[in-house]
Amino acid sequence: MTNKSGRVMIFIDGSNMYHSLKHHFQRTDVDIGKFVQRLLDRRRLVRTYYYNARVGRKEEPERYRDQQKFFDSVMAVPYTELRLGRLVYVNWPSAPPYEKGVDIQLATDMITHSFKNNYDIAILVAGDSDYVGALQAVKDNGKNVEVALFGKERTSMQLREVADRIITIDGRLLRGSWK
């Protein structure tokens, strides 16, 4: 049963969402504003936080430009904050870059807003077990936590267990959310 009342904050791990969309739907052109409305299911949005890491301008100029366009579209969505960590390039281009600071920023924001009583329900869009402790802390502070997941494979069992509710991101949920 969905909690129809209450203030909702949505926390999106952008990299996880991008790779999951690519894997499950072979496309990544989701409209964040429309996607958020589908997750809300008529509940009241306080704010959406979208987390990612900026691609290196000199390392990957074309991806950088595409990503900037996408970030601009995210920032154009009302009540949405773009929170950026960084990509670390070591032995580029033979080794892919890795994210720094994104997961910890998301977890910190989720816990901080919980203790400030800025929301009643947190919706996490991520499949990573690194968030289990943060979700448990939020629950221990009296909040509800929902986790939006792409399918069963490649999503953490611990994340499923700690969540009060699982939202399955499938073709039905995404209908009308593409650009």
Q: What is the pLDDT of residues 11-33, one digit of tens each?
A: 999 999 999 999 999 999 999 99
Res. 9: pLDDT tops 90:
yes
Domain 7-174 class? alpha beta
Residue 137 CA: distances (Å) to CA of 38, 53, 77, 92: 26, 25, 29, 37
pLDDT band at 151 (very low <50, low <70, confident <90, very high): confident
Residue 73 CA: distances (Å) to CA of 70, 76, 87, 118, 170: 5, 5, 20, 25, 22
Strands 44-54 vs 144-149: parallel, antiparallel or unpaired: unpaired
Distance CA 144, CA 153 (A): 24
Whether the Cβ atoms of residue 125 and residue 13 lie closer than 8 Å to each other: yes
Written as one letter, the residue type at 36 is V
Domain boundaries, given as residue ranges, for the chain: 7-174
Mean pLDDT taken over the chain: 94
Q: pLDDT (tens digit, 9 = 90+) per residue, 84-106?
A: 999 999 999 999 999 999 999 99
Distance CA 86, CA 116 (A): 27
Res. 2: pLDDT tops 90:
no
φ/ψ (deg, to 5) at 62: -70, -45
Whether the Cβ atoms of residue 31 and residue 178 lie closer than 8 Å to each other: yes
pLDDT band at 164 (very low <50, low <70, confident <90, very high): very high
